[in-house]
Amino acid sequence: MKKQAKKNSILDTALQCIKKHGVQDTTVRTITEKAGVNTASINYYFGSKDHLIEEALDQHFESLLVDWEVIMERQAMNFKQGLQTLLRDVMQETQENPNLMKAHLYDPLLYNRTDGPFATRFDKFLQFLLEQKRKAQPGKSDQVHQLEIMQLFSGVLFTGLLHGLFEQFDEWDFDNRESRQAYIEEMIQRIVEE
């Protein structure tokens, strides 16, 4: 196996292990067994498990951001439609891969660390989204634009990760795709007034 292919295989395997087990329960042994490599390969390519996990998560989040920016750029003429597609994608990613999203949010949540790779990239994406929103809704102040973006992402990430907390609200079944879509549409209608 060529060097880059082997490194990519290890990164992909680490990401799959994080998806399945979470960061805390992902071990070097699990990664090496599933990737078909030895511990020396982990150390050679990444230096440590922590560096491997960090690079795998960075790669994953960078891929998500590219996808999200493409969604918004494709829908530049219809900001509301783009926002619905974006938020649906964010919620779906959050529900399908909760361990990955928790891993991305680990440092900002536990240590209030907003200078790490995830927080820095997410901030850049929010600035991109803010620019898109300013163009689509020029009559609003920056304070209102920022508040609406914060409310939308909080509503999607929180309910996506912790949807079990809201099971008593039988109108919203977050395991159901149509219900999630209705939730997002309702949230956009209430928060982002045209």
Is the confidence at residue 194, as pLDDT, over 60?
no
Confidence band (pLDDT; 50, 70, 90) for 53? very high
What pLDDT, in 10s, does the model give residues 37-50?
Answer: 999 999 999 999 99
The pLDDT of residue 76 is 66
Residue 175: in which H helix or E strand, if any?
A: none
Tell whether the torsion through CA atoms of 110, 116, 118 and 124 is positive or negative. Answer: positive
The pLDDT of residue 173 is 86
43 found inside a domain: yes
Whether residues 65 and 158 share a domain: the answer is yes
Whether residues 16 and 109 share a domain: the answer is no
Overall average pLDDT of the 3-26 stretch: 94
Give the chain's length: 194
| 193 phi and psi angles, rounded to 5 deg | -80, 135
Q: Nearest 10 degrees: CA dihedral of 72, 76, 78, 80?
A: 40
Which residue range forms the structural domain that includes residue 41? 1-47
Q: What is the C-alpha to C-alpha distance for residues 175 and 105, in angstroms, rounded to an integer?
A: 22
Q: How far is CA 118 from CA 21, 22, 70, 123, 162, in A?
A: 20, 17, 19, 8, 20
Tokens read off for 145: 């634009």
Mean pLDDT of the chain: 91
Token pair 């969604």 is at which residue?
Answer: 71
Confidence band (pLDDT; 50, 70, 90) for 34? very high
Domain count, the chain: 2
Whether residues 90 and 180 share a domain: the answer is yes
What pLDDT, in 10s, does the model give residues 116-134?
Answer: 888 999 999 999 999 999 9
Q: What is the C-alpha to C-alpha distance for residues 94 and 124, in angstroms, rounded to an integer?
A: 20
Looking at mean pLDDT, say which of 67-76, 126-135, 159-168 comes out highest: 126-135
What pLDDT, in 10s, does the model give residues 140-149?
Answer: 999 999 999 9
The pLDDT of residue 126 is 94
Whether residues 175 and 113 share a domain: the answer is yes
Whether residues 20 and 73 share a domain: the answer is no
Whether residues 167 and 71 share a domain: the answer is yes
Whether residues 64 and 110 share a domain: the answer is yes
Whether residues 62 and 130 share a domain: the answer is yes
Please count the other Cβ atoms lying within 10 Å of the Cβ belonging to residue 61: 19
Whether residues 65 and 35 share a domain: the answer is no
Whether residues 176 and 102 share a domain: the answer is yes
Whether residues 83 and 42 share a domain: the answer is no
Overall average pLDDT of the 5-28 stretch: 95
Identify the CATH number of the domain in which residue 19 sits: 1.10.10.60
Confidence band (pLDDT; 50, 70, 90) for 1? low
